[in-house]
Structure formats: structure tokens, C-alpha cells
Amino acid sequence: MNKSQRAQLVHQRLAELYPDPPVPLNHSNPFTLLVAVLLSAQCTDERVNKVTPALFRRARSAAAMTKIPQPEILELIRSCGLAPQKAKAIAGLSQILVDEHRGKVPADIEALERLPGVGHKTASVVMAQAFGVPAFPVDTHIHRLAQRWGLTNGKNVKQTEADLKKLFPEDSWNDLHLQIIFYGREHCTARRCDGRVCDICRSCYPNRRKPFVAKKP
């Protein structure tokens, strides 16, 4: 089976398992999504969804967030990893959105990447899930699975993103990003599958005899 055939198999299986994948982070608008995705770095989605209700009761917009002192933001998100840095980023990006974008989250990936605490992956998630713009955000989990399935040679997440975009139709990117995440959590975890256990790994490489060790990004 070549790379294109493996990609087709992955696409088909994931579409069958997750025909309408939900966005795992609770949000009500592009701003709350941006903040939730920022908080999810070094933190589980489950934890973020426990933290954000209290935060978003105080502020669901950039303008409202600028009214909350940074120490208060920190207290509201303290149980998330890297909370001090994230509180500073949330306060900073909220002020920039008010000053430079009339309080709105821009539907522009370069503008998003210029915001404090917002890297390429976070910006890509917002573009895909808030604005419906085709994007293929790659985190460490997608990077690991793409290697296991022989869809990339895994030098870094930037290359993995480029390789996946070449393999899959553009109109499938936004769903595939979520589908791979859900599959990785449920079937192809870092510990429970070594590249020979889950259905997709076995289907892509039925003759794999040794555990597959993914390259870290």
C-alpha cells in the first residue's frame, strides 16, 4: 500500500467513525474560541472546559476582557498549565483586538499569529473552526499518528502539515483535523498503540513486526 492509498484508507475510516466531528472546546464566538484554544496548550480540553465557564461569565468579548485585571484572569485560569503566561497573553491579545481590530477576532491567519500567545496551530484552529477557512492544524498527537500511518516522515509539525495538505482534499481538512484528534484519543493513544494495535495502524501496515517509534517534533 502506497502513501496515497493509506491516506484514502485513513480518510474513509475516520469519516465512518466521526461523520460530524464536534469542536471539543466549548465556546460561543470567535473570541471565546481563541481564548479556549490558547488555554489548551499543555492542558487537556476537559480541563479547559471546566475553567472557561467562570472566565466567560466575566468576559465573552475582547472589550470585556480588557476590564478584568490580569491577576484576576490568572486566578480564573490557575488550574491550567502555564497559567501566568496565558493570563498575560489573554490580557495582551484582548487589548490589541480592541486597539487594532475594533474588538473583533480577525479572520486572517497572519494577524492572528501576531497576537500574544497565539502560534500557528492556534491561529489555524481559529481559522478552521470559527471562520470555516480550510486549515490543517497539527499538534503533537496528529504529528504522531501521521507518522504511524506513513503519511509523513515526521521531521516537524510544519512539514507534517504540508504533507497532510497534499494528501487530502482541501474541503476535508477541517473535519480531518478533528477526526484524527478523536481517533488518537480513543484508539491510537501514545501508550495503548505502538503502531501495531489499532485498526488503522494494522490496516496501513499489516506486516509491521516491531513497535513504531514516532519522531518528536
Distance CA 201, CA 123 (A): 30
Catalytically annotated residue among 20, 45, 99, 139: 139
Residue 133 Ramachandran class (φ > 0 left, ψ -120 to 50 alpha, else beta): beta
Catalytically annotated residue among 121, 166, 171, 215: 121
Q: What is the pLDDT of residue 98?
A: 98
Q: What is the pLDDT of residue 155?
A: 84
- Read off the C-alpha cell for 87: 493570563
Q: What is the pLDDT of residue 217?
A: 76
Q: How far is CA 79 from CA 34, 40, 47, 87, 102, in A?
A: 18, 11, 8, 12, 31
Nearest to 184 by CA among 140, 125, 122, 216: 140
Q: What is the pLDDT of residue 216?
A: 82
Domains defined for the chain, CATH in brackets: 3-21+136-204 (1.10.1670.10), 30-131 (1.10.340.30)
The amino acid at residue 14 is L
199 annotated active-site? no
139 annotated active-site? yes
Residue by residue, pLDDT tens for the chain (217 residues) are 999 999 999 999 999 999 999 999 999 999 999 999 999 998 999 999 999 999 999 999 999 999 999 999 999 999 999 999 999 999 999 999 999 999 999 999 999 999 999 999 999 999 999 999 999 999 888 999 999 999 999 789 999 999 999 999 999 999 999 999 999 999 999 899 999 999 999 999 999 999 998 888 7
pTM of the model: 0.93
Taken in order 73, 74, 80, 81, the sign of the CA dihedral is positive
Q: How far is CA 154 from CA 138, 175, 184, 213, in A?
A: 11, 21, 16, 11
